[in-house]
C-alpha cells in the first residue's frame, strides 16, 4: 500500500493570527537573549524563527517591532 500524500492547506499558516503572535513572541525572546546590535542581526534571528511561515510584509513588521523594542 502506498502512503497517501496530504496536500498543504490552501491558506498559508501566516493567515492564522495565533501562529503569527506565537512566532512574534518566539522571535522577540530569541532576539532579546542574543542581545543584537543591529537590525540586520534581528532580521537574521526572525528569519530563522519564522522559516517561510509568514509573508514578506509580516516578516518586515515583526523585524521592525522587535527592533523598536531592542535597539532603543
Residues 15-61 have pLDDT tens digits of 589 999 999 999 999 999 999 999 999 999 999 999 889 999 999 99
30 lies in which domain range?
14-70
By CB atoms closer than 10 A (0-12, 13-18, 19+), residue 61 is middle
In a domain, residue 62? The reply is: yes
In a domain, residue 43? The reply is: yes
Number of folded domains in the chain?
1
In a domain, residue 1? The reply is: no
In a domain, residue 5? The reply is: no
pTM equals 0.77
Alpha carbon distance 38, 31 (integer Å): 11
Phi, psi of 11 (to 5 degrees): -90, 130
Amino acid at each position: 500500500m502506498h502512503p497517501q500524500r496530504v496536500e498543504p492547506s490552501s491558506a498559508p499558516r501566516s493567515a492564522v493570527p495565533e501562529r503569527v503572535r506565537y512566532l512574534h513572541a518566539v522571535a522577540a525572546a530569541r532576539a532579546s537573549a542574543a542581545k543584537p546590535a543591529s537590525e540586520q542581526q534581528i532580521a537574521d534571528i526572525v528569519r530563522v524563527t519564522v522559516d517561510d511561515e509568514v509573508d514578506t510584509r509580516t516578516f518586515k513588521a515583526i523585524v521592525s517591532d522587535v527592533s523598536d523594542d531592542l535597539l532603543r
